Homo-oligomer: A and B are copies of this chain.
């Protein structure tokens, strides 16, 4: 995979989760125009779980910030009852900060953290709908390949597509 340099260099990376990330995560997820209100609620719930339970929540985060403002984030964690499989639950970059390579950088940072924790396979689930074609293309550019398609999983006519990458 292509190595991405953070640009501008003032960007910083943070793995610690803070209460104010609840608002940042909602803002970012909603700014994309891509997720339903219910999905945004789930994104924030994962922050809440992490704040309440720490690492035992099973949710890990990486944030990319510019002078204290969160531009994008990823959320991932080990899959229960597996030896070395992790789910990459969320990757979202604020709409104003897209097309600068931050998404790819967030995937790389997540994979590095997953490897540190002993993970060897990373899974990403997404929709098979036309709207998600750019998303699927993005995962493929990140080195992921399609592992399974589950017909009508999300809704009638809305399949789940599972991508995987060995890390």
Contacts and interface: CB of A to CB of B under 8 A. Distances in A.
Contacts of A80: 42
Nearest to A80: B42
A34 interface: no
Contact of A152 (B121, B152, B158): B121
Contacts of A148: 148-150, 162
Contact of A154 (B39, B81, B123): B81
Interface residues of A, number: 26
A39 B81 contact: yes
Q: Is the contact region of chain A dominated by helix, strand, or loop, or is it mixed? A: strand
A30 to B, nearest CB: 15
Interface in A48-104: 79-85
A151 B147 contact: yes
A155 interface: yes
A164 interface: yes
Nearest to A79: B153
B42 A153 contact: no
13 contacts: A42-B80, A42-B81, A81-B154, A83-B155, A83-B158, A121-B152, A123-B150, A123-B153, A147-B151, A148-B148, A148-B150, A150-B162, A150-B164
Given A36-B81, A83-B158, 14 more contacts: A38-B81, A39-B81, A79-B153, A81-B154, A82-B155, A84-B155, A85-B154, A121-B152, A123-B150, A123-B153, A147-B151, A148-B148, A148-B162, A150-B162
